[in-house]
Structure 1
Amino acid sequence: MNDTPEITARSWLMILTLGLVWGGTFMFQSLALRTTPPFWVATARIGFAMVLTFLVWRWRGGRLFTTANTDYPRLIAVSVLSSAIPFMFLSWGQQYVTSAFAGVSMATVALFVLPLAHVLVPGERMTLRRSLGFVMGFAGVLILLGPEVFQSSGDDREVWGRLACFSAAFCYAISSIMIRRLPPIDPFGLTFATLGFGLLLVLPVATLAHGAPPNPGSQGLMILALLGLVPTAGANLLRILTIRSAGPVFMSLTNYLVPLFAVLLGATFLSEPLPNSLITAMALILCGVGLSQFGALRRLFAGRT
């Protein structure tokens, strides 16, 4: 794997797909929480996803590290920080915040990733243009996080719910850097491993917190399966491929798209209030994304893919 990220037209397509899929995740997770306790929602997501990725992994040969260089402690840490802990944080937090808030909070992953990558990842430098784009995108996020979106009810649980969502974003940022720094590893094996190790943590937590698994009914079970198979299994693999080819900073741009889709889907299907600041925030975020990746866009439109 090259240390310098390679950004192509395929990279842009992948982050757009991830933005849409993950933006819809919060809407479906809100629906799942109507029938299932939060930590069992996280367990079901990981469990369904793990079964699918295990089958795909075994079908492709069942290999994990592709060289003699292994790093299981880092792999376990990646697993905990990219699946178990953030899934539990988000499921618990969404009891008290809207799906739009949860989606918007994911944009803060970019804020955590940029300085970490600048220090830890070769080829990921905080240039002036990238910094200006970052500031512009952050301004859009602040507008999107305005009073129309976050009118507090005065309930402390809402405050803790917000903190849980931002804690999940911090976990994703750290795991993005750690995935990039893993030794050569099969992407399918990495996807299965992150879910498998994650399940070993979340399953006993769910049992201790909520007791035996509930019966969510056929519709609830279908929603849980959807959460596991699409945004968890499929999108997790796509996330890993994007990080290892285009780098964690480029991958973090997906988290600017996630809140936009989350707000729109929540307003359309869950009747969540649509903030008046959405259009302004969307323009700032997209302009910030374009400015921070101007070099990649120029190569893309010049046909250098």
Structure 2
Amino acid sequence: MTAGVAPVLLRQGPAEWGLLLALVALWGSSFMLVRVSLDAFTPVAVTAGRLLIGAGVLLLVLLATRRRLPLGARTWVFFTVMAVVGNALPFFLIAWGQASIPSGLTGILMAVMPLVVLVLAHFFVAGEHLNARRLAGFVLGFVGVVVLTGPEAVAALVGREASLLSQLAVLGAAVCYGVAAIVARRGPVLNPVVTAAAVLSIAGILVGLGLLAGIAGSGAAGALHAQVGLAPGLALAALGALSTGLATVVYFSLVARAGPTFLSLINYLIPVWAVVLGALVLHERLPPRAFAALGLILAGVVIARWQSLRRRSPA
């Protein structure tokens, strides 16, 4: 553990679990929204659009609540790091990767994020020690993700359907999220809306400049590869306002209250939400393995958090 870091009281009660489930719903929906948006927009345009829309929503909230952005240089360095590592880079990598690899494979690769957090938190976050129980819980949860995504996703690892570069892109996004969770936990204590607005604004400006450069170099092809219909437009709007803007506020609130290891549990729950969303919205049938995976995933969550659950249970 890093010297000089004071222990921080982490809360993992009903309120934190409520925030976790809200974040699962918001982020779990983003994969579907990205897929629909890519029918008309390029990956850079999807990334820039969701960031700028999310930032716009949060800046309006700042104005309505009369909150001000901090002026300290160190705080803005933190904002910039979070903007790049936690938003701009992983959002683009996911959008770019999703254009050519199956969603099941994306789920397997994104499940690496808890393992990144597990190792980093052991060294950089007080009270987040690596032990056999937590490791067993995460491994069981990962097995559940593999069962959920199905054997065809595993086969895609070596098949023609999967692009090696796309796999590495999604894997890189998972690593970025893990690093961002640790950075956020060790960052300054600020209002979540203030932090989210500043981070998304910086990320939106950075990716927006990249989008403008692409448009200048290749014209409309830098932003669009098809005529924009109603569905892609609405998907991008929802992706920015809900899965990016609102989700970022929930993210910073949760990581400050409960810690990055607790936050990393979303990577086991998001695949479940994605399957349920597909059944309800896209009328997909749930395969039997989805229910088996749900049991494994929830069992992994219980094992990983068993000590916390025992402390909260009545004597």
Equivalent residue for 2:166, pick from 157, 161, 165: 161
Query: How is 1:116-127 mapped onto 2 (pairs within 5 angstroms)?
Result: 116-127=120-131
Match of 2:97 among 93, 98, 107: 93
In the alignment, what sits opposite 1:179? Answer: 184
Unaligned runs of 5+ in 1: none
Q: Is 1:18–2:30 an aligned residue pair?
A: no
Provide the rounded CA distance (Å) in 2 between the counterparts of 1:255 and 1:191: 21
Quote the residue 1:31 is aligned against. 36
TM-score, normalised on structure 1?
Answer: 0.89
Aligned partners of 2:240 and 2:78: how far apart in 1? 24
Q: Is the 8 A contact 1:65 1:186 kept in 2?
A: no
- Which residue in the other structure is 2:309 paired with? 297
Cα deviation, 1:59-91, whole Å, max 9, x if unaligned, reads: 22333449x794322321111111111110111
The equivalent of 1:202 in structure 2 is 207
Q: Note if contact 2:85-2:179 (Cα within 8 Å) is conserved in structure 1.
A: yes
Over the matched positions of the two proteins, sequence identity in percent amounts to 33
Count residues in correspondence: 302
The CA distance in 2 between the partners of 1:287 and 1:278, in whole Å, is 14
1:282-293 equivalences in 2 (<5 Å):
282-293=294-305
Alignment of structure 1 residues 33-48 onto 2, 5 Å: 33-48=38-53
1:257 is matched with 269
Please say which of residues 115-124 and 20-29 is displaced more in the overlay.
20-29
Give the residue type in structure 2 aligned to 1:78: M
What whole-Å deviation, never above 9, does each CA across 1:4-50 have from its counterpart, x for those lacking one? 31111111111112112211211121111111111101111011101
For 1:190, give the aligned amino acid: T
| Offset, 1:225 | 0.6
**AA aligned opposite 1:24:** S
Matched, 1:149 2:153: yes
Q: Is the 8 A contact 2:98 2:106 kept in 1?
A: yes
Range 292-301 or range 7-16, more displaced: 292-301
Give the alignment of 1:234-253 within 5 angstroms.
Answer: 234-253=246-265
Deviation track 1:117-170 (CA, whole Å, cap 9, x = no partner) reads: 010011111133222212222232343455233443944763322222221111
- What corresponds to 1:73 in structure 2? 77
8 Å CA contact retained: 2:37, 2:232? yes
Render the CA deviation track for 1:82-129: whole Å, top value 9, x for unaligned: 111111011111111234443453332111101100100111111332
2:40·2:232 contact (CA, 8 Å) conserved in 1? yes
Tell me if the contact between 2:148 and 2:289 (Cα under 8 Å) persists in the aligned partners. Answer: yes
How big is the shift at 1:202?
Answer: 1.0
Between 1:163-172 and 1:139-148, the stretch displaced more is 139-148
Letter paired with 1:29? V
Shift in Å, 1:260: 1.5
Q: Which runs of 5+ in 2 are unaligned?
A: 1-5
2:237 is matched with 225
The RMSD of aligned alpha carbons is 2.6
| Bigger mean CA deviation after superposition, 93-102 or 8-17 | 93-102
Instruction: Please state whether the residue corresponding to 2:163 is helix, strand or coil.
Output: helix
Q: Deviations over 1:193-245 (max 9, x none)?
A: 11011012211222334544446233322211111011111111101100001
